Structure 1
């Protein structure tokens, strides 16, 4: 059975936190040339519906873990009008629902072997029609976090293993090389970079899609991901030995070499709670051909493989609650501290969980949520550690939020706030570890919450 983000229902669960494992996953990005043939032929022979079904079957055959698709050369994104044809022959269990055909949808879509939650579509603030019709549809980018399990079935993030989360971004920037195109495209990429700074602080990130940018085209602003977000281009790292090209090297389709440059990119960074490393990069052109040997798209699809390991100094629990409010993470600050330890805990609540706070032995304090409800506090002894917590979620104004917390120390003492529900998650620090901070989303209350672990 296949699932979309629109038909996933919340389910009750109580689960212990397992020790995060090492592993790997791969990704694919492909501009699927999905505009209606009357608008764009893409110089690809064959019927677009048939080609789209072939792409879907290839996606299933090679079973990539996370696939981002875009489409429409010089115009807009993704499988605008052939979404159903791709999905008809694809077997990935988790797939985004289309946002509509031209001119209503962005066309950006994602397919995955792993559950993802917190899915956002964001429209570009700036577009240009100087070289085409980039303003024809609400182009933009998408953001998901992904997960192997279902700690919260509320649609934005990807969890590739227990306690291993990665933020995935799909984009298709403005095309063309006219001055207005260059201005719009630079604004597009800066918009994604700014979004990462706010919504992915403290997180591992993978950005992949059609940037319409080349390093050899000096007017392009593709370097913003490196300079602003600390992302590494997998192609530059693995194929070009870390050196960004200055001379143009155009690719054939199918490409006969990995050394040439296309506008499709895969960039990434690790995070304080997860080590992420690119180990493979390649054009997948020869895997995506029609039966007669012709290409399926005017773009070479590209793939990358990543290995992941849990952090050595920081790790995290699964999330609980809903994707509302402002994103926060204590991990970046905790990464600068030596042997952090909780000295006292304060939780606030009434009908729901209003706020959480932890003060460390060095005086550092992390507080999130609001000031409502009744406060309850607990001071920890020198040899006592915060080791576990129960969170319960529920619905308020059609939004999933945290309603209750119960924190437990290594000596069995507890402190709690809010009201329990039937939908709860137990998070337990791995043996020899402790809870020292938080990450999640908040406002006047605590909407979504996960815990940051450090060694005892």
Structure 2
């Protein structure tokens, strides 16, 4: 009897070891395949046939919006509305904007895209835990796309390969702007803030390496505040000659002062409040970008019952661009 019991114990131990080995292999595979930078060569199918060439122009206007769409699986999503219908409606309402960055576009990308009419869309990287949740929808050609995962993360943020994307968009014939779609590490405890600071440093280094001398627009859920002393968003601006559209248009070019930080309900903010969803930009020697019409889209993306379609409010802006005469 003792021999039989000992064999059962040994078998259980072997089963546990086997399961742990399989889990280890899966984890190694995940971090080697999903959390590495990739250059994307395929895009989602166009919603209409595109035959017209972009016009030759020396100036123009386009609207942008950044939106965390809360596309985590329904059971773990913090948004209060049902996800499939909400994200379908989000996709429809985004048609009003020329260039769109979305974050947390994980499990419901097909619903986001089926009601959306943007002719250029990035192909989703996948659902949780394989996707980064970052996609771009544009009325202008997306020339290239790179997906770059963070090297540092904390807590639940490590369960998906969050990071940023780098794309180049042609807004007129031979007029290109570098776009960055960002979703930084969330939460404000010391460990999370430390990971987010490293995220921002990684993004800053990438911009320096890949967008030197180019006009740049950075949009996304940066999860960072100018007023929080443990965030380094100020360094991102200073090191890359970037301007924050909200600071320029709504804060009289004054950065918020450091203060005792208290987490705010991001669904109850307005245009006068700093949001973690930000739009940053810079011009270059050939192209002047001028922002206007900054809007914290409170209420614009609510359902018929008045509930927000996501757990964020999007931020929108209009850019006027103009070629600078070269002498």
TM-score over 0.5 (shorter chain): yes
- What is the distance in 2 between the residues matched to 1:210 and 1:6? 23
Partner of 1:177: 188
Question: Is 1:45 matched up with 2:80?
Answer: yes
Aligned residue for 2:157? 134
Alpha-carbon distance between aligned partners in 1 of 2:266 and 2:241, rounded to the nearest angstrom: 30
- How far apart in 1 are the matches of 2:299 and 2:126? 30
Q: CA RMSD in A?
A: 2.0
Deviation at residue 281 of structure 1 after TM alignment: 0.7
2:18 corresponds to which residue? none
1:296 aligns with 2:322: no
**1:58 corresponds to:** 93
Asked if structure 2 preserves the Cα contact closer than 8 Å seen for 1:254 and 1:295, the reply is: no
CA distance in 1, matches of 2:43, 2:193: 34
| Alpha-carbon distance between aligned partners in 2 of 1:184 and 1:254, rounded to the nearest angstrom | 27
> How many angstroms apart in 1 are the aligned matches of 2:201 and 2:179?
16
**What TM-score, normalized by structure 2, do the two folds share?**
0.81
Q: Distance in 1 between matches of 2:312 and 2:133?
A: 16
SS of residue paired to 1:238: helix
Q: Any gaps of 5 or more consecutive residues in structure 1? A: 71-77, 147-158, 314-454
8 Å CA contact retained: 1:251, 1:261: no
For the pair 1:33 / 2:67, whether they are aligned, the reply is no
The corresponding residue for 2:102 is 69
Give deviations 1:332-377, integer Å, cap 9, x for gaps: xxxxxxxxxxxxxxxxxxxxxxxxxxxxxxxxxxxxxxxxxxxxxx
Q: 1:112 aligns with which of 123, 135, 138?
A: 138
Shift in CA distance, 252/226, structure 1 to aligned 2, threshold 3 Å: closer
Do structure 1's residue 285 and structure 2's residue 295 form an aligned pair?
A: no
Verify: 1:99 aligned to 2:99, yes or no.
Answer: no
Note if 1:192 corresponds to 2:225: no
CA contact (8 A) 2:81 2:308 kept: no
Q: Does 1:271 align with 2:284?
A: yes
Q: How does 1:189-268 map to 2 (within 5 A)?
A: 189-246=200-257, 247=259, 250=264, 253=267, 255=269, 257-268=270-281
Compare the two structures and name the one with the higher strand fraction. Answer: 1
Aligned residues: 278
CA shift, 1:19, in A, is 5.7
Structure with more relative contact order (C-alpha pairs < 8 Å, separation 6 or more):
2
Deviation at 1:45, TM superposition (A): 2.5
- Unpaired runs of 5+ residues, structure 2, are 1-41
Hey, which bits of structure 1, 4+ residues long, moved more than 3 A? 17-20, 247-252
Structure 2 CA distance for aligned equivalents of residues 194 and 201 of structure 1: 11
The CA deviation at 1:139 is 1.0
C-alpha displacement of 1:107: 1.1
Q: Separation in 1 of the partners of 2:247 and 2:237?
A: 11
Contact 1:251 1:262 in 2 (8 A): no
8 Å CA contact retained: 1:29, 1:208: yes
Partners of 2:128 and 2:135 in 1: CA distance: 14
Deviation per CA, 1:166-197: give whole Å up to 9, x if none.
10000100011122111110111111111110
Taking the aligned partners of 1:18 and 1:261, their CA distance within structure 2 comes to 37
- Equivalence for 2:58: 21
Deviations 1:243-265 (A, max 9, x none): 1112468466254x311122110
| Length-normalised TM-score, structure 1 | 0.58
1:122-144: CA deviation from partner (whole Å, max 9, x where unpaired): 01111111xxx000011110011
Deviation at 1:18, TM superposition (A): 7.7
The aligned runs of 1:345-384 (5 Å cut-off) are: none
In the alignment, the residues of structure 2 paired with residue 251 and residue 305 of structure 1 have an alpha-carbon distance, to the nearest angstrom, of: 26
